[in-house]
Structure 1
């Protein structure tokens, strides 16, 4: 009799433990689902982090390509007659900039044998937007000209520019 009571007591304790465990299963399923969602989010964050860490190199390539295109743009409009701007600057600059150059910013020497302009300086002012801002100096034997140029990396063309007056080291106009 003592053994049967002990067996009944042990059976009741085991049944209670089993009942508690079965009641815990929905909570454990929820915890498992949450853990899987957290793991998935962590993987997404890891991919984003790797992209952010690797993006300065791609940004550097974008800035380098943009700088060479701005340099080519200044070389092109500085060393060609104003009448050829619509054709020669197509793809390098927006229509607004081409019109602006044709009307107001053409170099002051417009003869067919005009001076050749070199571009000794292309300085980057802002490197982290989709619009890069440059300071560009074009220099000939007679004069030096400075421009601020905005280059849109999405459109891959110059979208705005203005001519600056030079004072100091580059001021060799007579």
Structure 2
């Protein structure tokens, strides 16, 4: 009798641990899927880094193309009325950036006699990674304006932008 009780107790303990293990299978499956996704992302990131390091000419061409797009972006929004921004800047910047430009970043001159802006300086602040950071200066006869711009090379869009204050940077600034 004592041996049968011991066998029943041992069977119940084993059945309980087996049931617990079966309940862990969905969690382990989720962890496996997450680990595979993390591994894939890490491999992709590593491949990008290898490409940048192994082919600096390719990265230089990539940065050069992005610089041309950012320069064109600044020329377009500096020389267009804010009412045309949603149409002219679509596909060049995120909706957030276009809305900020429409509301706050428009040059402080009236649109009827708006001066023509040139973009004499486009400097790279950070050229590594998928987000390139630029310092851009737009200059007209009346004023000069500086911007910091973040360009996402994966999405090929300007994702962030802020206007900087220039004090005495150019002789013709009023």
- Residue matched to 1:72: 72
1:20 matched residue in structure 2: none
* Aligned length, in residue pairs: 128
Residue 100 of structure 1 deviates from its aligned partner by 0.2
Larger Rg: 1
Distance 1:158 1:84 in 2: 17
TM superposition shift of 1:109: 1.2
Residue 116 of structure 1 corresponds to which residue in structure 2?
Answer: 116
| Rounded Cα–Cα distance in structure 2 between residues aligned with 1:148 and 1:78 | 14
1:81 touches 1:110 (CA, 8 Å); kept in 2? Answer: no
| Distance in 1 (alpha carbons) for counterparts of 2:107 and 2:141 | 13
Q: Post-superposition shift, 1:55?
A: 2.0
Which residue of structure 1 lines up, in the alignment, with residue 37 of structure 2? none
Which range moves more in the overlay, 160-169 or 53-62? 53-62
How far the C-alpha of 1:52 sits from its partner, in A, is: 5.7
CA deviation profile, 1:9-65 (whole Å, cap 9, x unmatched): xxxxxxxxxxxxxxxxxxxxxxxxxxxxxxxxxxxxxxx9x8565421111111000
CA separation of 1:160 and 1:52: change in aligned 2, threshold 3 A? closer
* Unaligned stretches of 5+ residues in structure 1: 1-47
Is residue 135–residue 146 contact of structure 2 (8 Å, CA) maintained in 1? yes
RMSD: 2.2
Unaligned runs of 5+ in 2: 1-47
1:132/1:151 contact within 8 Å kept: yes
1:156 aligns with: 156
Distance of aligned partners of 1:113 and 1:160 in 2 relative to their CA distance in 1, 3 Å threshold: same
Q: 2:161, 2:122 → 1: CA distance?
A: 13
Q: Scaled by the length of structure 2, what TM-score is found?
A: 0.68
The aligned counterpart of 2:104 is 104
Which one is further off, 108-117 or 55-64?
108-117
Q: Is the 8 A contact 1:144 1:171 kept in 2?
A: no
Distance, in Å, in 2 between the alignment partners of 1:162 and 1:82 is: 16
